[in-house]
Amino acid sequence: MVSFKLFKIEHPTTLTFFKDVALIALIIIILLSSTTVFARQWPPIWLVSGESMFHEDNNGFGNIGTLDAGDIVIVQKITTVSDVVTYYQAKQTGYVTYGMPGDVILFKVSSNGCNRVLHRAIAYVELNYTHDYVTYDIPELGYFGNATVHLDEFNLTIHPKVSGFITKGDANAYCDQSLSEDGLSELQPIELENIIGVARGEIPWIGITKILIDDSLYGNHGISHVSPECFTMYLVFVVLVVFIPIMYYICSFVKKKQKTLKKT
């Protein structure tokens, strides 16, 4: 009879726990499904693991509004060049994302697609073959038929081999396509086929969990890229969203267990 009473009393607590777990799982599924529909691709979210988009002048605690190591970003698939608003286009309209004018794009930089970079689109360069000559157009700047691609603001002068986007990390001194010491371009303009998508949303801090796991499993040092402010907010998030609910369930279970023992 005692064990039966214990079961009858404990059962609602166990059932409530599994109901809550099922509800949380359902919410996660709905959110992930909605995000996938919005992004129009899988996976819809990506981890920011480097410091190239860091803004030192960000006054918001936790660096909300810019892309920092440990952030999760929602990346929406694009189909045409016009889906991307470049830095120079945005300066004319006042359009700002992640602390600066223009869209931030996620793109592949290796032939096998393993290496991916999340940087801002600065300008779109169109390459033209005219007889025996190669010329370049940058429509948003009103440049047509130029012999070189020259951007004074970024100290960039190159002769690219393809049409595509000039890109730059907000925290970097130079564009990705700037010339190296041997006079060769480090990276060609980013062609449409190599663009995974445009950053359309930010979920701050929670990606630090994956960085910590990767550091533990593979000996990486990714946590060194995470700013102290972001790590502090991550700890606050863990305490509020993970630790406190777990402690609440444990305390509730212990109290009901004690009441059960008293009644028996």
Q: Give the pLDDT confidence of 62-97 residue by residue, as tens digits.
A: 578 899 999 999 999 999 999 999 999 999 999 999
Query: Residue 172 pLDDT more than 50?
Result: yes
Asked if residue 143 belongs to a domain, the reply is yes
Query: Residue 143 pLDDT more than 80?
Result: yes
Q: CA torsion angle for 118, 68, 35, 84 (degrees, to 10)?
A: -40
Q: Please answer whether residues 175 and 154 qualify as being in contact, where contact means their C-beta atoms are separated by less than 8 angstroms.
A: yes
Close Cβ partners of 243 (under 8 Å, ≥ 6 residues apart)? none
pLDDT at 114: 62
Q: Residue 97 — φ and ψ, nearest 5°?
A: -135, 135
pLDDT at 4: 39
pLDDT at 247: 80
pLDDT at 3: 43
For the ranges 107-111, 155-159, 195-199, 246-250, the maximum mean pLDDT occurs at 195-199
Asked if residue 113 belongs to a domain, the reply is yes
Buried b (16+ CB within 10 A) or exposed e, 48-86: bbbbbbbbeebeeebbebbbbbbbbbbbbebeebeebbb
Close Cβ partners of 36 (under 8 Å, ≥ 6 residues apart)? 42, 44
Asked if residue 160 belongs to a domain, the reply is yes
For the ranges 127-131, 184-188, 190-194, the maximum mean pLDDT occurs at 190-194
183 pLDDT band, cuts 50/70/90, is: low
DSSP 241: I
Residue 120, classified by CB atoms within 10 Å of its CB into exposed (0-12), middle (13-18) or buried (19+), is: buried
Asked if residue 25 belongs to a domain, the reply is no
pLDDT at 60: 55
Specify the residue for token string 């406190």.
244
205 pLDDT band, cuts 50/70/90, is: very high
CA quadruple 153, 155, 157, 163: dihedral sign: negative
> How far lies 147's CA from each of 71, 88, 136, 165, 184, in Å?
40, 20, 6, 17, 17
pLDDT at 248: 77
Q: Give the pLDDT confidence of 84-134 residue by residue, as tens digits.
A: 999 999 999 999 999 999 999 999 987 555 689 999 999 999 999 877 889
**Domain of 128?**
72-203
Asked if residue 213 belongs to a domain, the reply is no
Q: Give the pLDDT confidence of 20-78 residue by residue, as tens digits.
A: 788 889 998 999 999 999 999 999 999 999 999 998 776 555 578 899 999 999 999 99
Domains in the chain, number: 1
pLDDT at 65: 86
Q: Residue 39 — φ and ψ, nearest 5°?
A: -75, -20
pLDDT at 130: 79
Average pLDDT, the chain: 86
Asked if residue 59 belongs to a domain, the reply is no
Asked if residue 216 belongs to a domain, the reply is no
CA quadruple 193, 198, 203, 204: dihedral sign: positive
Concatenating the DSSP letter of every residue in 124-142 gives: EEEEEEETTEEEEEEGGGT
Asked if residue 43 belongs to a domain, the reply is no
Give the start-end residues of each E strand in 77-194.
96-97, 100-101, 104-108, 116-130, 133-138, 143-146, 149-151, 156-158, 164-168
**How many angstroms separate the CA atoms of 130 and 164, rounded?**
18
Query: Residue 199 pLDDT more than 50?
Result: yes
> Which has more confidence, 155 or 15?
155
